[in-house]
Amino acid sequence: MLVPVEWLNDYIDLSDVSTVDFCDRMIMSGSNLETCETFCEEMENVVVGRIEKIDRHPDADKLVVCMLNIGDKEANGKGEDGLLQIVTGAPNVFEGAIVPVALHKSRIPGPLHGQPKQEGGVKITKGKLRGVESYGMLCSASELGFDEKVVPVVHKDGIWILDPACYDGIEEKIGQDFAEALQLKQAVVDFEITPNRPDCLAMIGMAREASATFKKPFSYPDTEIKEANGEGNSSDYVSVEIKNTDACKRYVARIVTDVKVAQSPWWLQKRLMYAGMRPINNIVDITNFVMLEYGQPLHAFDINEVKGGKIIVDNAADGEKFTTLDENERTLTSDMLMIKDTERSIAVAGVMGGLNSEIEENTKTIIVESANFNGDSVRTTAKSLVLRTEASSRFEKGIDPNLTEAAADRVCRLIEMIGAGKVCEGSVDVYPNPETAKTIDVRVSRINHVLGIELPRETMVEMLNSLEIQVAGEGDIMTVTPPTIRQDLLEEEDYIEEVARLYGYDNLPVTLPKSNCEAGMSYERSIRDKAREALCSMGLNEIQTYSFVSPSGVDKVRIDEDSWERAFVKLINPLGEENSVMRTILTPNMMEVLARNYSRNLPEVRAFEIGNTFMDNPISRDKLPDEDYSLCIGMYGKGVDFYTLKGVVVELLTELGIKNISFEAESEYGVYHPGRCARVQVEASEAMKNAGIDTEELGIMGEVHPDVAENYGMDGVRIYCCELMFSAILSKADTSIVYTPLPKYPSTSRDIALLVDEEMEVGKIEEVIKANGKAILEKVKLFDVYRGKQVEEGKKSVAFNLTYRDKDKTLTDEDVAEVHNGVLAALKEKLDAVLREM
């Protein structure tokens, strides 16, 4: 909400308050500030001038030579006749025109036409245009710092022409400083208005806030019609029928006759321009002015275009065609509220008027519309038509229906004041269900308790009264009734906030909460953090990728068509195909990151991600999708192989207290090489063992299939990935620390080399060794796998180091031999593993 300080002073005297103090105090009372800009500060040596003579340029068809009267102002290049010569290409200049003149060595805010805006403004000096001296420049409104969108329609394409009929007394100000003559140097404050405070989308609303903040009185605009000299009563001209009372709460119509459409006076144009709106003509400008003043959108119809002299508020017909004021034909639907006459639609209610009833230069009698429309209805219509306007944005947030009559009266008063028409007596006011304010009880003690202050009731009453909130009752109970414009005041907490902001947020005591403030961390979060620390300590880098992915990602990693990894949660309104679903696994994201780094010539990458995965719930559409965490590890580069990745996985799971880890070969999963892939498993719980299940799966790992690597532009690169289900890790993790005393007795070890079939898994050999090593077997370590001339074809040699120790005594050779021989016998019996000579 742009608030010109000069306009604000029409309602509350802030002449003794600096702009800086005004902004600071308003922020502390709850009015959040976006920016504060002072206009025309960079304007120097620009004066009011009058064009006395215009001659054609001798060498340029599109240029003219103007001789300007700048009064008694001294200026370089001023001739003996007192006139100043300036060459211009502006198409709208004429003899007698009063214009802004930038003299030699002047400065204007800019920008110049077709150039970017320069910090500190633009310096203007004399020069020659096609051989003719020019001692300055005639300026447009945009060159003097006004945005193109607010430049008045009548001179938006040329020099700023000051019509004496609009700029009162301008002829007596020839030669004066232009900014002073038009009072251009003023501050404009841009407030950020929250959606719950539509009352502040109005100058009166901000004046009310300033009044409460600075404890100064403020006055409402003059709405009293001094002389209702129009012929007859408004009801003689028009009648109103509301057919959809849910979408239209109130409709007020007033009639103005003998309308004179012309430019608005400068004071009105200036307020609109500084508030961010373009002046068009006096009637349109007044309706816009009052909308900004009251926050109540208004519209004016040419009564000759309202057929049957009747306004009907009703919904459109499906497929109805309607042309709005912006000259675009739009197709309507039956849920859109329209303003109609007896034959056709003439406006989209709360959004924009129709081209078929707009005010034109020959319009003589108008209907002033001030109505209240349902915010949801307006929002839906504006969105469907892709047509958001100043009016619709206000209706969307909710407007007090009790404003409509005052706003209509204010329009008529301004029309009367500037002599733009004659106002008829009375109004046509249809208000089926008048709204009243909600009265509630507020406790003084509760306010003081929440804010941590000791404020007497009398002070609170004074604060609330300054916001036009009526207070009754006595003692601790205040029975409060807000003005109907304050639709946000519904609960006791709302009034506590009002007292707090008027007391001053900066004055409230700063205290810590008295409850237990000790921070905690969930077990799940602690395990995730521990996993991060473990992986980072092993030299991996953590990455983070988007949860919104392309469904083609699972195609690139060769996931089967009927796999659970394709149970996507689909977005209703995605930004694009590449972000249209939520990921079910992390591997495609990891592959994209590895490919991106490889394409940038990084020779080695080791990365991991712990992130959310999502899966649609096909059984019950009423339930939310399943959400879980997954852990993905990816790596490539020199020295990286399957066992590098396996070592990282084992070390990670060991760090998390997960024991009895095993790996089972997998050849059917499309992501990985069929001969270099394994499922990561752990010993099952007792409950699952009772059900006949010996292991639980944690995830899968392996070397990425060459076809997958090729899909990501990494042909010939050996990539290794692993994806683990974090929920499974969480159920098996045990980070409790149990003290184990250092061993008192020495250990002894035995090395064995076993001849086994080529297909024999090392994990199965380890299982048999551990199962038969009894209590004294402390550790089993694989240290060699050999295939060569000394080993027959179809066999391999697998060598282990077995460490034995007894916690209660020193082991003898006999003690070790008994257990060790039992291990060898079990290997022979169960796996046909034969001891090989070392």
pLDDT value of residue 114: 67
Confidence of residue 625 (pLDDT cuts 50, 70, 90): confident
Segment 490-502 mean pLDDT: 94
Confidence of residue 735 (pLDDT cuts 50, 70, 90): confident
pLDDT value of residue 619: 58
Phi, psi for residue 575 in degrees, rounded to 5? -70, -30
For 798, counting Cβ atoms within 10 Å of its Cβ (0-12 exposed, 13-18 middle, 19+ buried), the class is buried
Residues 6+ apart with CB under 8 A from 529: 521
- Residues 509-568 have pLDDT tens digits of 988 777 666 777 889 999 999 999 999 999 999 999 999 999 999 999 999 998 999 999
H and E: helices and strands count for the chain: 21, 40
pLDDT value of residue 802: 94
Task: Yes or no: say if 32 and 192 are a contact pair by the CB < 8 Å rule.
Answer: yes
Query: Which of 407, 405, 401 lies closest to 427, judged by CA?
Result: 405
| Residue 194, CA distances (Å) to 7, 197, 200, 208, 351 in order | 22, 6, 9, 16, 21
pLDDT value of residue 675: 86
| Residue 456, CA distances (Å) to 470, 511, 740 in order | 17, 21, 67
Which tokens belong to 171? 């002829």
Please provide the DSSP assignment of 687-747 as one string. Answer: HHHHTT--EEEEEEEEEEPHHHHHHTT-TT--EEEEEEEHHHHHHH--------PPPSS--
pLDDT value of residue 520: 79
pLDDT value of residue 761: 85
- Residues 659-711 have pLDDT tens digits of 888 888 899 999 999 989 999 999 888 888 888 888 899 999 999 999 999 99
- Residues 61-103 have pLDDT tens digits of 899 999 999 998 888 888 878 899 999 999 899 999 999 999 9
- Residues 393-438 have pLDDT tens digits of 999 999 999 999 999 999 999 999 999 999 999 999 999 999 999 9
Question: In whole angstroms, what is the distance from residue 382 CA to residue 390 CA?
Answer: 11
Segment 366-370 mean pLDDT: 96
Three state DSSP letters for 267-310? HHHHHHHHCCCCCCCHHHHHHHHHHHHHCCCCEEEEHHHCHHHE
Segment 3-7 mean pLDDT: 95
Which tokens belong to 305? 């275009």
Query: Which of 104, 98, 72 lies closest to 85, judged by CA?
Result: 104
Please provide the DSSP assignment of 528-539 as one string. Answer: HHHHHHHHHHTT
* Statement: residue 327 has pLDDT above 80: yes
pLDDT value of residue 618: 64
Please provide the DSSP assignment of 762-817 as one string. Answer: HHHHHHHHHHHSTTTEEEEEEEEEE-STTS-TTEEEEEEEEEE--SSSPPPHHHHH
Residues 6+ apart with CB under 8 A from 727: 628, 629
- Residues 141-191 have pLDDT tens digits of 999 989 888 988 887 778 999 999 999 999 999 999 999 999 999 999 999
Start-to-end Cα distance in the chain: 89
- Angle between helices 457-466 and 444-451 in degrees, nearest 10: 90
pLDDT value of residue 620: 55
Quote the mean pLDDT of the chain.
92
Whole-model pTM?
Answer: 0.67
Task: Yes or no: say if 723 and 699 are a contact pair by the CB < 8 Å rule.
Answer: yes
Task: Yes or no: say if 351 and 282 are a contact pair by the CB < 8 Å rule.
Answer: no
For 494, counting Cβ atoms within 10 Å of its Cβ (0-12 exposed, 13-18 middle, 19+ buried), the class is middle
Confidence of residue 273 (pLDDT cuts 50, 70, 90): very high
Percent of the chain with pLDDT over 90: 77
Confidence of residue 316 (pLDDT cuts 50, 70, 90): very high
Which tokens belong to 424? 């008829």
Confidence of residue 391 (pLDDT cuts 50, 70, 90): very high
pLDDT value of residue 198: 92
Phi, psi for residue 538 in degrees, rounded to 5? -90, 10
